Amino acid sequence: MHSQYERSIAIDPSDPDVHNNLGFLFMNCGDLDQAGEHFRRAIALKPDFAHPHFNLGRILQGQGWMADASHEFELAIQLDPSYREFLTNAGPEQGTEAQKSRATAGP
């Protein structure tokens, strides 16, 4: 599966969707460094793309970078308010407690 996305990047390295999807695959395989690189590349290509902000937040949170993770979660909610519901209903591994309370409170 990775090779299909890698071929897609070779064809169009400026596609933020491909970088986000490849980052998601790397994240699920446990390669958080590669995942983070692809999420950051997707954000650089399309700063208003909520998905890689959220995914990068998940990685940062797992690495203990809570303030950075919270910032990425906030950006994801600003860009796509549907993340508010996800973070509010998520288990303890998604979003900090402060982030969840802000998500519940709304903008």
- Which residues span the domain enclosing 49? 2-105
Single-letter amino acid, residue 86: F
Supply the pLDDT for residue 11.
81
Residues 14-50: pLDDT tens digits?
999 999 999 999 999 999 999 999 999 999 999 999 9
Residue 2: per-residue pLDDT:
60
Tally of structural domains, the chain:
1
User: What is the model's pTM?
Assistant: 0.77
CATH number of the domain encompassing residue 86: 1.25.40.10
Tell me the H-state helices in the chain. 2-11, 16-28, 32-45, 50-62, 66-79, 82-89, 97-105
